[in-house]
Structure 1
Amino acid sequence: MSIYSKLYRDIIFPFYSSFIKKSEVYNEYSRSLTRLNWSKSELIDFQWQQLEKLLHHCWHNVPFYKEHWKQSGITDISEIKNLDDFAKLPVLTKQDVAEHYDQLIPSIYKGKNIKKATGGSTGTPFRFELNELSNDARQAIMWRGYGWLGLGLGVKSLFLWGDNIGEASRLRALKENLYHRFYNRKMVSTFTMNLNNLEEYITTINTYKPEAIISYVNPLYKIAQFINQNNMRVFSPKTLLTGAEPLYDFQRIEIEKAFNAKVYNTYGCREFMLIAAECKKQQGLHINIDHLVVETLNEKKEPITGEVGDIVITDLMNYGMPLIRYVNGDRATLSTSACTCGNPLPMIEKVNGRKSDVIKTIAGHMIPGELFPHLFKEFEGITKFQVKQSNINNIDIYLVTNEKFNPSDKQLITEEINKYSKQALAINFHIVDDIPLTSSGKYRVTISEL
């Protein structure tokens, strides 16, 4: 770690956070580190205490929830005495938030909240708000999670991430550049990445020499493929963190081979920031239960563990626009095992992608979206792909191909997919020049509009 990195972590950032910004980020960060010394039962007790306070706040100050919960049979919030009772409360959907936006904001926070929006990877941007302390707390939790993977406060880092929309003025660009330099990081947009400019990204990495790289999965995977295919040399950081998209084992292997460094996966979303992260043991992703309540539900809306379910999340700190049992559209498997690293936070065994990534058939069978990356990696002639379902009878597959592509591959792909569909699912192939990213800079391999 450089001298600046140490000064930043121990002196500059604490002073900047507490006395210049007058925020609670560093204080929350310090408290969150202390909680990692607690036992799991102590963390669960803390989680319930925070949740109980939030539920009472919602009952008395958030009009939507009182009515929403009364409709489900709750006559008084004191009836919710533990997490089992909490699981009886109805879930909150994106549509609920859109239709009852104003009713979800307590009067004391109206006009004072920080406004946010997701990139709209599902087709419709999602807007929400949070109070300042909640924003500080989620930043603290992010730094804690990144920290145990080698990308803590002050570490020289390079972000292969999205970019701001619109043309930035010179003044704005200068301010953002200085801001990121202060944090000892370099931001590199993946929005303009294509097969013809990958070498420019490698040059940037070699010139900047970051201690850590954090990236969307697919851009880093594409760079790694290019490095390995062309036998190139690239600077090896101490750690690589991926997020925003599912990380498959074959992608992890390819990236680690290219950079000669370990890849660690994280899971988060804009509504809550960092939800869970791997540790050095890589036995699952540790869930930040001192900041969130994370559940998985089956089709009957019943809590489950050890099998794939729909994720519902509650932010314990967002009093400005509480999201209680919010369905974020992702699916995961909660683990019943404890990690051998000693971190008391419980784990997600696997993030299984978005619920909308599942391909459905008229007979009621479902093909998980994760099948397709594993299938298409076997075809050297396919550079990029996307599977899209608009109706129950067929799917469209968009392919970016190279000189190794053989038209007979289409038949092999069709046969393999229909092994899982259990019927003759009509498959339409489209050879295209490129497949666009979502507005948030992510690459979706599977889209179901059903």
Structure 2
Amino acid sequence: MNKYDVKEIYLKIRGKSFQSQFEEFNNIKSREELDRFQDKKLEDLLIHAAKNSGYYKNLLKNIDLENVTDEEVFRQIPVLTKDVIRSQLKDLVSVDAKTRGCFYNTSGGSTGEPLRFVQDQPYTQGANATNFYYYQNLLGVNGFAAKKVLLWGSERDLLIKHRNLFGKFANWVNNAKFLNSFKMKSEDMARYADTINSFKPEILRGYASSLYSFSKYLDQNDKKIYSPRYVVSTAEPLRNQMRDLIEKVMGTKVYNFYGSREIASLAGECHEGLLHYFPFYTKLEVLDDDNNPVKAGEEGKIVVTNLFNYSMPLIRYEIGDMGVLGPETCECGSFLPTLKSITGRITDQFTLEDGSQVPGEFFIHMIGRVCNRGYIKKFQIIQEDYDELRMMVVPDKEIPTKYIQKVNQELKTVMGDDCVIEWDFVDDIPKTTSGKYLYTISRLDK
């Protein structure tokens, strides 16, 4: 028995085996087959939601579900907002959720608005199958077998100071090395370079800002690095200057991958530079301010309907991102529809006095997930100085002093014990004039 047999057993035990679901996706060979597949999944989802979710039972009672795959009928369903999810969480959850291996999850608040929701095993299996489909069919690599280095955030390493045996086993099974992007001091990045040079991964995947910081460190210190076949940037917006430096240092193309905590595996970049989204897993719309579809080349808000999470259906969910719709066809040969780009969110990295940088994703992850107790409706963090942060917070309810102290303590694990953190409670945090939301802002060198 090799490690790939072990991995399949491991995934089955955890309810995450995706092979059969991947085969179903992979058997779709044309846009026509894709449309039929999505229509059937969408119809099944909506019928289930109308029967099993109190919220949707009321919302869909006047919708013609027999013809709901008609776009005009489907668009009669109101867009689902984050505020509705907060206020209607219990009614959104299906009565049969416990039969589906359901579990609670939280968003990191990448649009500045942390959220709690329910997912299940079929959702997870679909996400894993979609992720595997992307690597195999758009990039041409077996994501199951390839050697991978993940430059990813782990608050656990920061708070308990060690990796447990289960984590090490999971990395072995996945043929992966894990590097903590929440620890990015010079000595950390020197060690990460040694790991990559000795492990020689086929895939390097990480937060956009962490890949950028790592590449900047390598460039400034004239350090040589093994060139992976693929570098995949995710979790944060990939700006042009970030892409340019990462590609220069790594000696290979960077591929942008788009997903969220609420709905994973939304779109992935192909060799031609377009982001293909995956209608067999999630129905994705790009809408204008009046909730009408935009044309190719136009920007609009991204609204998604996951087709696999029956435990808490997210139907026409306004995820908080903006995107530019791409052309109907792509020179890469894939029949999947495209986005030209993801827009609407901006993150700044924070800089410590020793020159090391902290990715904006750390703060979203720590506040939106680790310390998410439902107190914060919306937030923005501003670095005023090396050891001074200002928290702009729209509270959802009264915030206890102990909670503020807990958050401050966690943030100081990265920013330093001397960091002063001021909390400002406000009614709203506006977007920029261009419609973008800045959830971390650094005042240094500006």
- Answer whether TM exceeds 0.5 for this pair: yes
Distance 2:125 2:69 in 1: 28
- Which residue pairs with 1:251 in the alignment? 242
Query: Residue 266 of structure 2: SS of its match in structure 1?
Result: strand
**Structure 1 equivalent of residue 85 of structure 2:** 97
Q: Using the TM superposition, give the Cα deviation of residue 16 of structure 1 relative to its aligned residue in structure 2, in angstroms.
A: 5.2
Choose the corresponding residue for 2:266, options 269, 275, 299: 275
The answer (yes or no) to whether the contact 2:326–2:338 under 8 Å persists in 1 is yes
**Residue by residue, what CA displacement relative to the aligned partner does 1:157-178 show, whole Å, maximum 9, x if unpaired?**
00001114474597x7111101
Q: Normalising to structure 2: TM-score of the pair? A: 0.74
Determine whether 1:288 maps to 2:288: no
Over 3 Å counting, the alpha-carbon distance change for 1:318 and 1:183 in structure 2 is same
Q: Cα gap change, 1:243/1:54 in structure 2, threshold over 3 Å: closer, same or farther?
A: same
Is the Cα–Cα contact under 8 Å of residues 113 and 130 in structure 1 kept in the other structure? Answer: yes
Instruction: Kindly state the Cα deviation for residue 84 of structure 1 after the two structures are TM-superposed.
Output: 2.6
Deviation beyond 4 Å, 4+ runs, structure 1: 11-18, 20-24, 166-170, 381-386, 395-400, 433-436
Indicate the SS of the match to 1:143.
Answer: helix
Deviation at 1:105, TM superposition (A): 1.3
Equivalent in the alignment of 1:44: 35
8 Å Cα contact 2:55-2:91 kept in structure 1: yes
Which whole-Å deviations, capped at 9, do the CAs of 1:375-419 have from their partners, x for residues lacking one? xxxxxx998999xxxxxxxx978577xxxxxxxxxxxxxxxxxxx
CA distance in 2, matches of 1:90, 1:75: 11
Give me the whole-angstrom Cα distance separating, in 2, the residues matched to 1:193 and 1:348.
Answer: 32
Q: Could you tell me which of 126, 144, 151 is aligned with 1:137? A: 126
What residue number does 1:330 align with? Answer: 321
Partner of 2:228: 237
Deviations 1:426-449 (A, max 9, x none): xxxxxxx9999xxxxxxx993399
Per the TM alignment, residue 281 of structure 1 is displaced from its structure 2 partner at its CA by 2.4
CA displacement at 1:15 relative to structure 2: 5.6
Please state if 1:116 is matched with 2:105. yes
Cα contact 2:122–2:308 (8 A) shared by 1: yes
Distance 1:208 1:272 in 2: 31
Do the aligned residues in 2 keep the contact of 1:384 with 1:399 (CA within 8 Å)?
no
Question: Bigger CA drift: 114-123 or 289-298?
Answer: 114-123
Q: Work out whether 1:25 is the aligned partner of 2:28.
A: no
Q: Is the 1:151–1:157 contact (alpha carbons within 8 Å) kept by the matching residues of 2?
A: no
> Any idea what SS the aligned residue of 1:318 has?
coil
Q: 1:385 to 1:136 in 2, by over 3 A?
A: closer
- For 1:81-129, what per-residue CA distance to the aligned partner results, in whole angstroms no more than 9, with x for missing partners? 5123212210111111111111111211148412211123445431111
Q: CA shift at 1:68, angstroms?
A: 2.8
Contact 2:147/2:176 (CA < 8 Å) preserved in 1?
A: yes
Is the Cα contact below 8 Å between 2:110 and 2:439 reproduced in 1? no
Q: Choose 109-118 or 89-98, whichever is displaced more.
A: 109-118
Cα gap change, 1:60 to 1:330, in 2 (>3 Å): same
| SS of residue paired to 1:206 | helix
Q: Does 1:447 align with 2:436?
A: no
1:24–1:176 Cα change, 3 Å: closer
- List aligned pairs for 1:190-269, cutoff 5 A: 190-194=181-185, 197-269=188-260
Are residues 1:60 and 2:51 paired? yes
Aligned-partner SS, 2:109: coil
Mapping of residues 285-324 of structure 1, within 5 Å: 285-306=275-296, 307-324=298-315
Whole-Å separation in 2 of the counterparts to 1:23 and 1:32:
16
- 1:102 is paired with a residue whose SS is helix
What secondary structure sits across from 1:290 in the alignment? Answer: coil
> Is the 1:116–1:127 contact (alpha carbons within 8 Å) kept by the matching residues of 2?
yes
**Aligned with 2:439: secondary structure?**
strand
Mark the CA change 1:310 to 1:445 in structure 2 (over 3 Å): closer, same or farther.
closer
Query: Cα gap change, 1:382/1:69 in structure 2, threshold over 3 Å: closer, same or farther?
Result: same
Q: Which runs of 5+ in 1 are unaligned?
A: 358-368, 374-380, 387-394, 401-432, 437-443
1:31 is matched by which residue type in structure 2? Answer: E
Deviation string, structure 1 residues 351-371 (Cα, Å, up to 9, x no partner): 0133xx5xxxxxxxxxxx8xx
- CA shift in 2, pair 1:302/1:448, >3 Å: farther
In structure 2, relative to structure 1, the CA distance for the partners of 1:15 and 1:179 (3 Å cut) is closer
**After superposition, what is the alpha-carbon deviation per residue over 1:322-369, rounded to whole angstroms, capped at 9, x for unaligned?**
000011111101113311122111001110133xx5xxxxxxxxxxx8
Secondary structure of the 1:273 match is coil
Cα distance, 1:399–1:243 mapped onto 2, change above 3 Å: farther
Alignment CA distance shift 1:177-1:75 (3 Å)? closer
Distance (Å, rounded) in 1 between the aligned partners of 2:179 and 2:147 = 14
Q: Secondary structure at the match of 2:342?
A: strand
- CA 1:56/1:119 → structure 2, altered by over 3 Å: closer, same or farther? same
